[in-house]
Amino acid sequence: MRAISERDLAVVIPLLAAKIRELTLELRAGQARVGELTDEELEDRMRVQEMLVQYDGILDSLRSEYEAGLAEGIELPAFDELTRRFHVEPAPARD
């Protein structure tokens, strides 16, 4: 028995994807000044990176559960449709 329905997941997944996007952009914005950060700012940055790893893991497991529901015939948008607008392109490589 599932703890959360696919319909609820259809709401939670975009919210989580939005948070991941927000944190990713926050990290990117501070990337240029990494060498100038205080110890406290570096710790905050590390916490954000750890949160991103956790949130990505949660999103992956929610995806599995959501897609299992879709496979059972529940009519909802595809997972990619739920998260597409929150996708962040990879940062360009720095030389």
Helix residue ranges per DSSP H, 1-95 = 6-30, 39-71, 79-83
Calpha distance 78→53 (Å, rounded):
23
Calpha distance 52→74 (Å, rounded):
29
| Residue 12, both tokens | 């939670």
* pLDDT, tens digit, 9 for 90 and up, residues 12-65: 999 999 999 999 998 888 776 767 778 888 898 899 999 999 999 999 999 988
| Residue 18, both tokens | 């939005």
Q: Look at residue 1 and tell me whether its pLDDT is greater than 60.
A: no
In this prediction, residue 53 carries a pLDDT of 95
Is CATH 1.10.287.2500 correct for 6-86?
yes
